[in-house]
Structure 1
Amino acid sequence: MSVSLDQSIRLDGQFYQTLKKEKRYNWETSQCIENTVKSLVEEHTSANRPGMLLGKVQSGKTRTFLGVMGLAYDNGYDLVIILTKGTNALARQTYVRVHQEFASHIEDDYMRVFDIMGLPDNLRKWERRQKLAFIVKKETKNMDRLKQTLFEKYPALSSKRILFIDDEADFASVAYQKNTEANIQEMRVISGKIDELRKVLTSTSYLQVTATPYSLYLQPEERRIHENKVFQPVRPAFTELVPVHDQYVGGEMYFEKSKDDDHLASYLFHEVDDRELEVMKKLDRRRLKLNELLYQKNITNIRQAFVNFIVGSSIRRWQQRKNGDRMKKYSFMIHTERGKMAHAWQEELLNRMDAQLKESAQNDDPIFRELIEDSYKDLIGSVSKVDGPKPSFQEIFYEVRKAVLEEHVVSSVVNSEKDVNELLDHTGQLQLRAPMNVFIGGQILDRGITIGNLIGFFYGRNPKSFQQDTVLQHSRMYGARPLEDVAVTRFYTTRSIYDVMERIHEFDTELRESFERGGHEQGVVFIQKDPMEEIIPCSPNKILLSNIRMLKPHKRMLPIGFQTGYKTHIQKTINQVTKQLEKWRVSAVKHKGEAFLIPVEAASEILAQIYQTIEMEHGYEWNLEDYQSMLHYLSNEHESKEKGYVWIVMRHGRQIKRLDQNGRFESSPDTPGNGQGELAVARNVATHVPALILLHQQGKKEQGWRGAPFWWPILVAPKETKTAVYASKTV
C-alpha cells in the first residue's frame, strides 16, 4: 500500500532521473517505485519474507521493476539479480528489455548487463566496479553458475549490496510443493538454492514481482474460526501495487463491462461447446470431413474464430490505412491442449480451412461471402461502439478476399523452446511474420512470452485442474490494448471455463481492493468445509480456483442457467416450500418490515427442497452443499442476537423470462436496490446475518420455462461480512 514518501532515500541520482525523463513515469508509477525502494532499504526482506510488487497481468510490471532497479542503483545497490521463469525465450526477452531501458547508462559505462550463462570468464575490475545486472533463469544450471560466480570466480561480488528481483514469482507454487508421502510442504529446489545463497551473502534485499493473486500476505496474523481452530499464515514484508495505465484491458472488460449490453465488451465472449473441444484434440474422421470444413456444424466456433480473426484484422488495417497510419500485424492464439500431436492436428485443421477459404474465394463460392457476412455482422456491432471510420461490408469483403488470396495468414505451432527461439524477433517477442498470425501451443506460451496485437483467443484448458497461478498466466488477451483493437477482439471458450475465469477476476479484484482500503491489516480469510461439516481455515496455496466463492459485504449469490423440472414432478415440492414459508412467516422470531427471521437450519432445508426442482444446463452449476455451507458460515460468523438465523424476503407472482434480450440466461431476477425492490430490502436487513430472497416465479412456457411455478433463491451476504474466500475443494 503506497504511503507518503519522506526523503530517507536519494531521488536525484543519475539512474532514476534519467529513467524518469526518458520513460516519462506518471505520478502513480513514480510513487510506486519510490515507495518500493524505500521499503527495500528500511525493511528486512528474504526469500521467505520478500517485498512484493503486485500488478495485474501484462499491466506494466516489468517497466515498474526496472524503475525500481534504477532507483536502487542510486541508493547503494551494486548488483541486481533478475530471476526469470525457466525458458531461454523469457531470459532473452528480459535481457533485451533491460538493455533497452538502461541503454544510455550502458553506453556511458555506468552499467553492465549479463545473462549469467554468458558471463565472461575474465570480467575485469573496471567492469566489476560498474553497476551490474545478471539475468538468471530459475533452473539448476543457472543457479549453480550464479553461486560459482559469486563465491568462486568473483568473490568480491558477494560483499556488494545485492537486490534479487524474482520476476513472475508465485509465492504459493514457487516456494512450496506438496510431498504426498509425508503430506507436508517442503521447499522446492530452486527456492532452496536461492535461500542458500542469501544465507552467506552479506547485504541483500529480495523483491518478488507477480500478478498472481496467491495472497498469503492478505491473511491476518492469526485467524480463529469457531472452535479454537487457528490458521497462522506467512506474509511478505511489504507490498506495493503497480498502477494500472489508461490503456489496460483486463478482467473488468471481459467479466464486468461485458454485462452491459450497450458496451462493446458485451460482444467479446463467444461460448464454445465442450464437444467442439473434443474435435480439437485429434483427427476423427467419423466426426469430421476434411474436405468440407467450411460447412460442418461441429467446428462452428473454431471456423468462426478463424474467419473473425481475418475479418477483424482486415477491419483494423482498413481503418489504419484510412487514417494514414502504418498498418499493423495481428495475432490469434489457440490454447486448448498440451500435447504436440494435438497441436499438429490443429495446425493441419487451420491450414486446410485456410486453403478451402482461398479456393472458395477464387471460385466465387457463395459460402465465402456468407462466412464473411456473418463475421462482419458480429464485428461491426462492437466496432460501431468506438469512434473512428467504419467500413461497409463491401469494402471489408474486398479486403478479406485479397488477404485470403494473397496468403496474409500464417499458422505456427509453438510447443517447445526450439519453436519459441526460432519465432522470436530481435526484441525477444514472438515475431509477427505476416499481417495475420495464428499461434497454436500449450504451456510454453504461458511463460511470459509477449504476443503483440492479440485480437483472438481460443481457449480450452480443463478448469477442474486450475490452481491459483495457472489461469492468469493463460490470460494472454489481457494487457495494453487500444479500444479500436478491443472492438474486433473475440474470446472463445466454454461456459464453465469462462465462469472460472470470472471467479478469478473477482478474487483478484477483491484482493487488490483490500490493499487499497488497507485490508491487508485485517486480512482476507481462506476457509473450507472439513469432513466434520464444519467451516475451518485453509491454506491459500491449496485452493483450486474452479471451486472458490468470494464472500464479501452484501454480495448476492444465485443459481443461473437452469430449467425447471416438469410440473408433475415438482409441483408437490413447490407447494411444500410455499406452506413452510408461510408457516415461518407467521411464527418467525422477528419481523422487520416484510422480512422475517428464521433458523439457519430451516433456511438450509428450504434450499435443499428448491434444489430438487431445478435442472442445471450443461456448463452451469449450483452446488447445494456449498450454498448451505456458506449460509451457515455467514449466519454464525458475527456475534449478535441474530446469530444462527437468516432473514427471509419473499415475493410472489413473478414473471421473469428464462433468457434475456440477448439470448443469455437471466441472471437478475431480483429487482435493483432502488429502495423498494427485494434486493434493497434484503440488504437493509442483512446487517449481521445473511438474507435469503425467495422469488415465486410463474414459470410460463411463453417465458421459456416448462409451465411450472418455482422458487428462485438469492443468497445475500450480510453487511458485516469479513472478506473471505470459500473453497469447496482443495488440492
Structure 2
Amino acid sequence: MPDIPPLETNGAFYPAFTGPKDYPPEQKSCIEETVGKLISTATTSDQPGMLLGKIQSGKTKTFMGIIALAFDNGFDVCVVLTKGTKALAKQTFERLDQEFAEFVSDNLLLVYDIMSLPKLSRWEQGRKLVFVVKKQSDNLDRLHAALVTDYPELGRKRVLIVDDEADFASIGYSRSSRDGMQLRKIAKQINDLRTALSQPSFLQVTATPYSLYLQPDEIQIRTEVFKPVRPAFTKLVPVHPAYVGGDVYFPEEDSEDSRPADFIHVEVSEKEMTVLKKKDRRVFDPRTDALTSKAITSFRRAIVTFITGAAIRQIQSRHAGVRPANYSFLVHTEAAKGSHAWQEELVEELMSQLVAAAGVEAPELLELIDAACDDLGQSILLAGHHLPAKEAVRAEVLTALRDEYLLITKVNSDEQVMDLLDRSGQLRLRAPMNIFIGGQILDRGITIANLIGFFYGRNPKRFQQDTVLQHSRMYGFRPREDVAVTRFYTAATTYDAMRRMQESDNALRRALEAPGDQSVIFIQKASDGTVVPCSPNKILLSNVATVRPHKRLLPVGFQSGYKTRISAVILRIDSILAGHWQASSPEAPFTVPLAVALEVVELAYSALEFEEPGYSSNKDELIGALAYLSQNSQEPSERGLVWVIWRGEREVVRIRPSGRFTNAPDSQHREGKIAREVATHIPALLMLRQQGREEQGQGWRGTPFYWPVVLTPGDTKTAIFANEVRPDALEGDEGAED
C-alpha cells in the first residue's frame, strides 16, 4: 500500500467539528488514518475501504469526523447512503444537518435529502455538499442524474461515498424464481455511479461484515462474472470503555464463579413463545388471568422485572444525587404486524391488572415484585452497586403503577418510527418507563436509550448473522448500573444461536486486527466423518463452533445416564485411560493417539442424556475440532496425538445458584492451568470423572460419569467449524428473515 500523505488537520472543518464533540485521541487517529487511506488507496467498486465498528458503538460519530476531515483534504461532495427506510434517512439527514449546523450557517456546507434537492445555483455548487440517499432505486436514479446529468461539474469533483450499513444492500448476488441469479439492482446502481464519477472514493461502514466475507470469490450471472465487494483496507472503530456489547451478553469464557453477566439471560420456553406469537383465547385469555396464568410466566416476569429494575435505578440515582433517567423495554418476537397487535393487547391487559392489584396491594403482585427484587439483587450486589431496601423498591413500583409511569408503544411502520424519533435519532422516552413492541423496523440505526429489558423471540432456524446481530438493540453505551438490572429474555435455542454468532463475530474481528495474515479457516464435517476445509459461503453461522487458541469445548445442559446403563461404559473408559497412562505422577498429563482420545470421548458422550430444551449434544463439533487440530498440528512430530489430563472424584453440581447449568467442570487454576501449559501444538483432552451424586444438591442420578473438555492448542489458527452446510449455499438469503 502506498505511503499515506500528510493530512491537513487544521483546516476549516476538522478541528472545528471534532473539538467541541469530545473525540478521544484513538477515535481521531482512526479518522485520520481512514482519510489518509482513502486518499492514497484506489477504492474501486470491487475494493472499497471499510470502517468496521461494533453495533451501536459510535460508527456514525466516526464517519462524520471522516467527512469533516475529507472536506479539508480535497473532497467537495459527500454522499451518505442509508438503509432504505424513511425513518433512517430522516434520522441521518437531521443528524448531519444538526452536527454540521455551524458550517451551514457560515455558508461553507449544504446538506440535502436527494429526493428534496432543489435546483442548485453555481454558488451552491461551489459549497461543500452532503447528499443523504436511501438505498432505493428512485433515490439512486436521482443521485445519478444530479451528479452526472444535471450538474456534471459536481461529478468531476472528488466525491466521497459513505455506504452506511453497507452489508444491507451491497451483497453482490440474489436469486429470483423468474430470472435465477441476478445482480441486485441497487448494488448495480451503486456500481454504475462509481464508474460515472471522475474521482470517487468509497467507504463502507458496518458492524456486520459477513456478507462481504462469506461469499464465493466470483459469481457467474448469465454471461458476466460479478466479483463481490471486498475491502481494500479495513479500519476498526475504537470501542469506548463504556460500551456494552456481545461480550457482556454472550461471554466466551466460562467461569467457576458467579458474575453479573450470568444473570442477564432468562430462558423462555418454546411453548410460551408460541403463545406470544399468535392470539388463541382457547389457550390463553389475558382478560381473565394475565396476572396469574402459567402460559406467560416469563413474559409477566419480564414486565414486572423491568418496572422493578427501572424503579431501582431511579432510587439509585436519587441516592447518588443525580436526576433519574427514563428507561425502556423492547418486545421483538415476530415480524408479523398481527403479532404486534396481540402483544400490545396482552401488555395493556397485564398492565391494567397490575395497576388494579397495586391499588389494593394484592399479595400476588407483592410476590412478583419481591421475586424481581431477589433476582436483580443478585447481579446488583455482584457488580458492587447500591442495593435499595426491598420495602423502598416495593413502594416505588406501586407508585409507578398507580401514577401511570409506564407507556406502551407499538411500532411497526416507517411513519410510526419517524414520529417517535428525537433530534438525536433515538426513540423518545416520553415516560419514566417505556415499552416498545415492534419487528424489523426497530433494528439497524434505531437507538433505544436506557434499554434494560429485551424480550426476543425470532426463529433461529431462519437466522442470518448480519440480521440477527443487528436486532441486538441492547448494545451500546450503557452505565454499568444499568447492566446490573438488565435482563434478556429468549428461548435457549435462540440464545445458543446468538452466542455462536457472537463467537464467530469475535473470530472475524480478531483476524482483522491481527498483523500479517488476516484469514479465517472454514471447516466442515465430511460425509465420511473426516473434517475438511470448505467454502465460507456454505456455512450457516447460527450453527457453528468457533475454534481459536486455548478455547474450551465441552457439553453443557445434560443429565447423566442411569447407573444400570452407564456403569460398564465408565469402567471401560477407566480401563482405556489406565492402559495408556504413562505419567510420572497421578496429576501429570500424558499423550495418547488421536484414535484413543476419540474413543473415550465417544464413550463419555454415550453416558450423557441431552433432553433440556435448547441444549443439544455438541459431540460432532468437539470431536471434529479435536481431530482436525491433532491431525493438522503445526508441529509435525506431534500430529496424531492428544494430551490427556485425567482426574477423578469430582463433585460438580448440575445447576449453579444462578439457575444456569454448570459450564466449568474444570478449574482454571488447577487442571486448566496445566492444560494451557501443554496444549501448545496439539489439543488437550480433560477427562473429568464426576461422582454424579443425587444428594448434596448435585442434581445428578447417583452414579459416576465422565465430563470431557477439549482445550485447543495455543497456536491454533482461528477456524469456524460447521457440522453441516447450507443446502441453499449459493441461493442467497434475502427475504428469509422477514
TM over 0.5: yes
The 10-residue stretch of structure 1 (660-669 or 177-186) with the greater mean CA deviation from structure 2: 177-186
- 1:577 is paired with a residue whose SS is helix
Q: In 2, Cα distance between the equivalents of 1:554 and 1:340?
A: 45
1:666 aligns with 2:659: no
1:309 aligns with 2:306: yes
Matches within 5 A, 1:675-686: 677-686=670-679
CA displacement at 1:165 relative to structure 2: 0.6
* Residue 605 (structure 2) aligned to one of 607, 611, 615: 611
1:696-719 per-residue CA deviation (whole Å, 9 max, x = no partner) reads 222122121112221111112122
Q: In 2, Cα distance between the equivalents of 1:239 and 1:338?
A: 33
User: Structure 1: which amino acid aligns with 2:422?
Assistant: D
User: Structure 2: which amino acid aligns with 1:446?
Assistant: D
Q: In 2, Cα distance between the equivalents of 1:624 and 1:391?
A: 45
* Residue 327 (structure 1) aligned to one of 321, 324, 349: 324
1:706 aligns with 2:704: no
1:728 aligns with 2:723: yes
Confirm or deny: 8 A CA contact 1:219 1:523 kept in the other structure.
no
Confirm or deny: 8 A CA contact 1:468 1:543 kept in the other structure.
no
Taking a change above 3 Å as real, the CA distance of residues 532 and 46 of structure 1, as seen in their structure-2 partners, is farther
1:379 aligns with 2:372: no
Confirm or deny: 8 A CA contact 1:430 1:452 kept in the other structure.
yes
* Residue 654 (structure 1) aligned to one of 646, 650, 657: 650
1:634 paired residue number: 629
1:429 aligns with 2:429: no
Confirm or deny: 8 A CA contact 1:585 1:596 kept in the other structure.
yes
1:49 paired residue number: 47
Taking a change above 3 Å as real, the CA distance of residues 647 and 389 of structure 1, as seen in their structure-2 partners, is closer
1:695 aligns with 2:688: yes
The 10-residue stretch of structure 1 (448-457 or 257-266) with the greater mean CA deviation from structure 2: 257-266
Q: In 2, Cα distance between the equivalents of 1:358 and 1:449?
A: 31
2:99 paired residue number: 101
Q: In 1, Cα distance between the equivalents of 2:622 and 2:638?
A: 19
Q: TM-score, normalised by structure 2?
A: 0.90
- 2:638 is paired with a residue whose SS is coil
Taking a change above 3 Å as real, the CA distance of residues 176 and 219 of structure 1, as seen in their structure-2 partners, is closer
CA displacement at 1:481 relative to structure 2: 1.0
Confirm or deny: 8 A CA contact 2:630 2:682 kept in the other structure.
yes
CA displacement at 1:437 relative to structure 2: 1.2
* Residue 288 (structure 1) aligned to one of 269, 284, 300: 284
CA displacement at 1:261 relative to structure 2: 4.9
Taking a change above 3 Å as real, the CA distance of residues 145 and 323 of structure 1, as seen in their structure-2 partners, is same
Taking a change above 3 Å as real, the CA distance of residues 296 and 345 of structure 1, as seen in their structure-2 partners, is same
Q: In 1, Cα distance between the equivalents of 2:147 and 2:290?
A: 59
Q: In 1, Cα distance between the equivalents of 2:51 and 2:523?
A: 26
1:199 aligns with 2:192: no
CA displacement at 1:211 relative to structure 2: 1.0
Confirm or deny: 8 A CA contact 1:258 1:266 kept in the other structure.
no
The 10-residue stretch of structure 1 (308-317 or 199-208) with the greater mean CA deviation from structure 2: 308-317
CA displacement at 1:426 relative to structure 2: 4.2
Unaligned ranges ≥5, structure 2:
218-226, 727-738
1:129 aligns with 2:126: yes
CA displacement at 1:7 relative to structure 2: 5.6
Q: In 2, Cα distance between the equivalents of 1:574 and 1:80?
A: 68
Matches within 5 A, 1:221-240: 235-240=230-235
Matches within 5 A, 1:140-151: 140-151=137-148
Confirm or deny: 8 A CA contact 2:172 2:228 kept in the other structure.
no
Q: In 1, Cα distance between the equivalents of 2:463 and 2:617?
A: 19
Q: In 2, Cα distance between the equivalents of 1:219 and 1:192?
A: 17
User: Structure 1: which amino acid aligns with 2:32?
Assistant: E
Q: In 1, Cα distance between the equivalents of 2:254 and 2:606?
A: 32
Matches within 5 A, 1:543-554: 543-554=539-550
CA displacement at 1:83 relative to structure 2: 0.7
Confirm or deny: 8 A CA contact 1:527 1:536 kept in the other structure.
yes
CA displacement at 1:413 relative to structure 2: 1.4
User: Structure 2: which amino acid aligns with 1:58?
Assistant: Q
* Residue 157 (structure 2) aligned to one of 155, 160, 172: 160
2:735 paired residue number: none
Matches within 5 A, 1:180-191: 187-191=183-187
Q: In 2, Cα distance between the equivalents of 1:161 and 1:64?
A: 20
Taking a change above 3 Å as real, the CA distance of residues 655 and 375 of structure 1, as seen in their structure-2 partners, is closer
User: Structure 1: which amino acid aligns with 2:293?
Assistant: Q
- 2:17 is paired with a residue whose SS is helix
Taking a change above 3 Å as real, the CA distance of residues 523 and 49 of structure 1, as seen in their structure-2 partners, is same
User: Structure 2: which amino acid aligns with 1:623?
Assistant: N
Q: In 1, Cα distance between the equivalents of 2:367 and 2:715?
A: 55
1:599 paired residue number: 593
CA displacement at 1:661 relative to structure 2: 3.5
Q: In 1, Cα distance between the equivalents of 2:390 and 2:657?
A: 26
Confirm or deny: 8 A CA contact 1:220 1:524 kept in the other structure.
no
Confirm or deny: 8 A CA contact 2:504 2:541 kept in the other structure.
no
- 1:634 is paired with a residue whose SS is helix
Q: In 2, Cα distance between the equivalents of 1:337 and 1:559?
A: 31
User: Structure 2: which amino acid aligns with 1:619?
Assistant: G
Unaligned ranges ≥5, structure 1:
222-231
1:498 paired residue number: 495
Q: In 1, Cα distance between the equivalents of 2:590 and 2:254?
A: 36
User: Structure 1: which amino acid aligns with 2:292?
Assistant: Y
CA displacement at 1:485 relative to structure 2: 2.0
The alignment's C-alpha RMSD in Å is: 2.9
Confirm or deny: 8 A CA contact 1:215 1:540 kept in the other structure.
no
The 10-residue stretch of structure 1 (711-720 or 423-432) with the greater mean CA deviation from structure 2: 423-432
CA displacement at 1:110 relative to structure 2: 0.4
1:396 paired residue number: 393
1:441 aligns with 2:438: yes
1:487 aligns with 2:489: no
CA displacement at 1:594 relative to structure 2: 3.8
Q: In 1, Cα distance between the equivalents of 2:124 and 2:545?
A: 54
Q: In 1, Cα distance between the equivalents of 2:620 and 2:180?
A: 28
- 1:452 is paired with a residue whose SS is coil
CA displacement at 1:631 relative to structure 2: 1.9
2:615 paired residue number: 620
The 10-residue stretch of structure 1 (363-372 or 189-198) with the greater mean CA deviation from structure 2: 363-372
1:548-591 per-residue CA deviation (whole Å, 9 max, x = no partner) reads 111112211000111011111222222223323333447x9x99
- 1:469 is paired with a residue whose SS is helix
User: Structure 2: which amino acid aligns with 1:722?
Assistant: K
Matches within 5 A, 1:348-363: 348-363=345-360
1:20-57 per-residue CA deviation (whole Å, 9 max, x = no partner) reads 21212111011000000000000111232111111111
Q: In 2, Cα distance between the equivalents of 1:44 and 1:6?
A: 12
User: Structure 2: which amino acid aligns with 1:449?
Assistant: I
1:408 paired residue number: 405
2:73 paired residue number: 75
Q: In 1, Cα distance between the equivalents of 2:552 and 2:56?
A: 30
User: Structure 1: which amino acid aligns with 2:300?
Assistant: R
- 1:204 is paired with a residue whose SS is strand
1:226 paired residue number: none
* Residue 23 (structure 1) aligned to one of 15, 21, 24: 21
Q: TM-score, normalised by structure 1?
A: 0.91
CA displacement at 1:13 relative to structure 2: 0.9
Confirm or deny: 8 A CA contact 1:259 1:266 kept in the other structure.
no
